[in-house]
Amino acid sequence: QLQLVESGGGLVQPGGSLRLSCAASGFTLGSYAIGWFRQAPGKEREGVSCISSSGTMTYYADSVKGRFTISRDNAKKTVYLQMNNLKPEDTAVYYCARKSQFCGSYYRRADMYDYWGQGTQVTVSS
């Protein structure tokens, strides 16, 4: 059964860090690019980051560049999003999603991904 499960969210103070995990099952993770998206209340879902199937290419939205790092361990069937220096505007539900092999020019378009996890809440507040 195909499944993506996000975990690692929670409440953190501004300037703090969290590491999100996206655990895959039911398919070969190493054959797919994985993207991270987030959606805050009342806002459109936005692409945050993407990593190619091999892990050699990574992409970040300008809003998180220099603070977030995406990585993957295909043997463990897990993709990670390390989030440092968190800001209140990072507060959102974070989703991981599956995409064909490469992130490509449209990696931030949600309709390019064919399967989604359930999301994990990240709240950044003092």
pLDDT tens, residue order, the chain (126 aa): 999 999 999 999 999 999 999 999 999 999 999 999 999 999 999 999 999 999 999 999 999 999 999 999 999 999 999 999 999 999 999 999 999 999 998 999 999 999 999 999 999 999
**Burial class (CB within 10 angstroms; exposed 0-12, middle 13-18, buried 19+) of 64:** buried
User: Which of 16, 3, 12 has its CA nearest to residue 121?
Assistant: 12
Q: What are phi and psi of 85, to 5 degrees?
A: 50, 50
Q: Looking at residue 13, what is its pLDDT? A: 98
d(CA 14, CA 78): 26
**Burial class (CB within 10 angstroms; exposed 0-12, middle 13-18, buried 19+) of 6:** buried
Cβ contacts of 65 within 8 Å, gap of 6 or more: none
